[in-house]
A and B are shown apart, each in its own frame.
Chain A
């Protein structure tokens, strides 16, 4: 899976978590999940679950507080994909 594919899939997941109408294309690399998109701590918990479902990688080693931007989340998924899958 390429970085761009990860970004596209993740942006699609994030767009569904945002209360106001926003498309995945409008989410930029440096969009801040909390401050720009309104992703609160509950939405982060949902997002981490969906990341594991979608990409097959748990982000257990990643502190949710360090996922500030879309780029941070994509980086974390890429790191996760290099680890052996859970179970």
Chain B
């Protein structure tokens, strides 16, 4: 912790290239050098990972919201954010829960990268973060105040607290990240799209370091009500048994809260400064189904997988693991299984598919980032976390879902699927860094 003294050289100053004459000469490799998370399991990476390998669920009965009038009473809740040496209480209090957990995860990621959360001067680090709902709790509070008590009783910082780029703005300001910053709104794929866009910025030489990831805190009455109306939330009363991706008895997803942030870094830059590399982001592909706001489309999804593999210069046979979107809804899990067959062909029968949402619930815009963290740990430790609550196979979901128990496996290449309402499909490809492969 403490002020960073590490100097980051932006791409346009590296190699003495005159900016006006500079053209992208080559594609840069992209390393993950920092990780920070805030989950219902807490913020400790080992606690999180050990819980997942043990097949434990973080879903519980909701306590923050009075759910007595709802048919759904379960979710994944994070604890209130506590101040840290890099995150003052005033900043936490001034912001919504989503921004608070995102700020904490971002600071932790910078700390773990060795770059440090705090700095004395602006640093050439960019911020690309995603959220499905943004400051959903803060928005609900101001509308409550407005309609029940009038404008005078609205939170005085209703604008800055709830604007959609609140998280990226606060990350930039608090941690002196002066590259560029923007917020991705891609519903449940927000985290994956943010990481993919951050990956592109480094690959194409726009940035050397990017803080990226996703955050969402959807456990509030209005979001819970909205999802309940869509009939996609599990009505299973047993919190830890409710999220059961690919199982024949699945009946919907479970809302959950989290933030997950990664530090992406030019691979050579990371190597030069001796940074630890958790893995390499090797490819990224996106498509739009262009068909329906909520119904998934296997063709669109499979094309996103194909694009991601193409972007990584890989073929289906290279893939050892699929970290599935796997929401536990009837439609998603069938469509995703079909998409994997379309994209991977006969290799789909040999690839392991795991669904982290069985334990984490659906952390919305954080899910792509948080589940990528688990995939990076699989690359590191050669063990795949299970899909829990998998009791009865569904004939329409006929792949190897790593049921109920973690599995030892040397995973060299993995893909992370994230599919969203609106028909947005995003797929990331990660692989072991070179040093690990040798």
Q: In whole Å, how far is A54's beta carbon from the nearest beta carbon of chain B?
A: 13
Q: Are A52 and B88 in contact (CB under 8 A)?
A: no
**Which of chain B's residues 135-168 have a Cβ closer than 8 Å to chain A?**
152, 155-157, 160
A86 touches B152 (CB 8 A): yes
Interface residues in B59-85 (C-beta closer than 8 Å to A):
none
CB atoms of B88 and A19 under 8 A apart: yes
Contact A49 B90 (CB under 8 A): no
B94: A residues at CB distance < 8 A: 42, 46
- Which residues of A28-82 have CB atoms within 8 Å of chain B's CB atoms? 42, 45-46, 48-49, 52, 58
Q: Once bound together, how far apart are the Cα atoms of A42 and B155, in whole Å?
A: 12
When chains A and B are docked, how far (Å) is the Cα of A87 from the Cα of B149? 11
B160, A42: Cβ atoms under 8 Å?
yes
Q: Is the CB of B88 within 8 A of A49?
A: no
The residue in chain B whose Cβ has the minimal distance to the Cβ of A48 is B156
Given A19-B88, A19-B90, verify A46-B157 contact (CB < 8 Å). Answer: yes
Q: How far is the CB of B145 from chain A (nearest CB, A)?
A: 11
Residues of B within 8 A of A42 (CB): 94, 157, 160
- The residue of chain A having its C-beta at the shortest distance from the C-beta of B90 within the complex is A19
CA of A58 to CA of B152, assembled, Å: 9
Inter-chain CA distance A69–B88, complex, in Å, is: 25
Provide the main secondary structure of the chain A interface. Answer: helix
A46 and B90 CA atoms in complex are apart in Å by 12
Please, how many angstroms separate the alpha-carbon atoms of A19 and B88 in the complex? 7
Q: A58-B152, A86-B152 are in contact. Are A17 and B157 (CB under 8 A)?
A: no
Q: Mark A5-23, 1 if CB is under 8 A from B, else 0.
A: 0000000000001010000
What residue of chain A has the Cβ atom nearest to residue B161's Cβ?
A42
B contact residues around A48 at 8 Å (CB):
156
- B88 to chain A: which residues have CB within 8 Å? 19
In the complex, what's the smallest C-beta–C-beta distance from A53 to chain B, in angstroms? Answer: 9
Query: Within the assembled complex, what's the spacing in Å between the Cα atoms of A35 and B156?
Result: 22
Question: How many whole Å from A60's CB to the nearest CB in chain B?
Answer: 10
Q: How many whole Å from B94's CB to the nearest CB in chain A?
A: 7
A86 to B151 CA separation, bound complex (whole angstroms): 12
B89 to chain A, nearest CB (A): 9
Cβ contact of A52, chosen from B90, B152, B155, cutoff 8 A:
B152
Evaluate contact between B157 and A45: CB separation under 8 angstroms.
yes
Contacts of B152 in A (CB 8 A): 52, 58, 86-87
B96, chain A: closest CB distance, angstroms: 14
B156: which of A49, A86, A87 is its contact (CB, 8 Å)? A49
Chain B residues with CB below 8 A from A19, complex form:
88, 90
Q: For A46, what are the chain B residues with a Cβ–Cβ distance below 8 Å?
A: 94, 156-157
Contact across chains for B160 and A17 when beta carbons are under 8 A apart: no
Chain A residues with Cβ below 8 Å from B160 are 42
How distant is B156 from chain A, measured CB to nearest CB, in Å? 4
CB nearest neighbor in A for B91: A19
Shortest B157–chain A CB gap in Å is 6
Residue of A nearest to B155 (CB): A49
Give B93's nearest chain A residue, CB to CB: A16
A17 adjacent to B156 (CB under 8 Å):
no
- The answer for the CA separation of A46 and B91 in the assembled complex, in Å, is 13
In the complex, what residues of A have CB within 8 A of residue B90's CB? 17, 19
Residues of B within 8 A of A86 (CB): 152
A49 vs B172: C-alpha distance when bound (angstroms)? 27
A52 to B157, CA, bound (A): 15
Contacts of B156 in A (CB 8 A): 45-46, 48-49
Q: How far is the CA of A45 from the CA of B90 in the complex (A)?
A: 14
B321 → chain A, closest Cβ, in Å? Answer: 45
Q: Scoring B residues 93 to 118 as 1 if CB is less than 8 Å from chain A, else 0, what string do you get?
A: 01000000000000000000000000
| Distance (whole angstroms) from the CB of B174 to the closest CB of chain A | 12
Neighbouring B residues of A17 by C-beta, 8 Å:
90
Give A86 to B150 CA distance when docked, in angstroms.
12
Q: Which residues of B contact A45 (CB under 8 A)?
A: 156-157
> Once the chains are docked, how many angstroms separate the CA of A42 from the CA of B166?
14
Minimum CB–CB distance for B165 against chain A, Å: 15
Given contacts A17-B90, A49-B155, A58-B152, 5 further A-B contacts (CB under 8 A): A19-B88, A42-B157, A45-B156, A48-B156, A52-B152
Can you list 14 A-B pairs, Cβ within 8 angstroms, ordered by A? A17-B90, A19-B88, A19-B90, A42-B157, A42-B160, A45-B156, A45-B157, A46-B157, A49-B155, A49-B156, A52-B152, A58-B152, A86-B152, A87-B152
Q: Which 10 A-B pairs have the closest CB atoms?
A: A49-B156, A45-B156, A46-B156, A19-B90, A19-B88, A42-B157, A45-B157, A46-B157, A42-B160, A48-B156
Q: List the interface of chain B (C-beta within 8 A of A).
A: 88, 90, 94, 152, 155-157, 160
